[in-house]
Amino acid sequence: MFRLDNKVAVITGAGSGIGQSIAKLFAAQGAYVCLLDVDENGGRNTITDIHEAGGNGIFLPADVTDQAAVRKIMEDLVEEKSALDILVNNAGIAHVGNAENTKGKDVDRLLQVNVKGFYNCLHVAIPLMKARGGSIINMASTAASVGIPDRFAYSMTKGAVIGMTLSVAKDFISYNIRCNCISPGRVHTPFVEGFIAKNYPGREKEMFEKLSKTQPIGRMAQPMEIAYLALYLSSDEAAFVTGSDYPIDGGFITLNS
């Protein structure tokens, strides 16, 4: 079950954290993975691990805000592999602030990566997937569904991700293109560690414990736990699943309400 043999997958933000775990798991399940990330060291380390484990794929440094670069990568990939079966829109950035103290430049930056970046990948990938269908997974967040203090711009962009997911699922269902999104709670990744260190210097341990305990299950998720859900949604076993948002949050949304 859940094999991805003969499938070609593009995964953005695959140099670390959730994207890295998805890339490694997909490769282990038989997919050819094309990893995109602005972090060249992280991306190269990820693809090296995949190759050493017997998987197949390539890492290409790429900024998802550059539509021309995304187009060239995906079109070249399809020319070489004759297919694009899976797109995982994972690359994203965060921000701390509310509607009063968030600066316009910060909103613009998050919109470029978290919304325009997703759009760029969707805009390019969908025509390439029409011939034989496929699965698209957009990484949203629990922040799109509940109010989280000081996450105004981030929550806004992740709400847009859910909206994009529903639109794509509706518009391209006749082409057998499925589109779903995953809304993780807090996940223990280098991204989260860096986020805490940047925004709460000197209080890292305190904030890590505090953020962990906001989830009723009492801890943060591990990246691979998110990857397993992405694997299911990308597999043939999920052929009847589209247009859905999947919270994976240790009970954060439902048990805290």
CATH code for position 79: 3.40.50.720
Count of all residues that appear for the chain in the document: 257
| Domain shared by 198 and 165, yes or no | no
At 257 the pLDDT is 60
Indicate whether 253 belongs to any domain.
no
Q: How many domains does the chain have?
A: 2
| Domain shared by 195 and 90, yes or no | no
Strand 86-89 versus strand 177-184 pairing type = unpaired
* Alpha helical stretches, state H, the chain: 17-28, 40-52, 67-81, 104-110, 117-129, 152-171, 190-199, 204-213, 223-234, 252-255
| Domain shared by 175 and 107, yes or no | yes
pTM higher than the cut 0.75? yes
At 51 the pLDDT is 98
| Domain shared by 59 and 114, yes or no | yes
pLDDT digits (tens, 9 = 90+) for 51-105: 999 999 999 999 999 999 999 999 999 999 999 999 999 999 999 999 999 999 9
Indicate whether 252 belongs to any domain.
no
Residue located via tokens 């613009």: 108
| Domain shared by 117 and 176, yes or no | yes
Structure tokens at 74: 């995906």
| Domain shared by 46 and 148, yes or no | yes
The stretch 224-252 carries a mean pLDDT of 97
| Domain shared by 93 and 201, yes or no | no
| Domain shared by 92 and 118, yes or no | yes
Indicate whether 3 belongs to any domain.
no
Q: Is the pLDDT of residue 203 over 70?
A: yes
| Domain shared by 136 and 213, yes or no | no
Which range of residues forms the domain containing residue 207? 187-220
Indicate whether 254 belongs to any domain.
no
| Domain shared by 169 and 210, yes or no | no
As annotated, the active-site residues are: 154
| Domain shared by 126 and 202, yes or no | no
Backbone angles phi, psi at 88, to 5 degrees: -115, 105
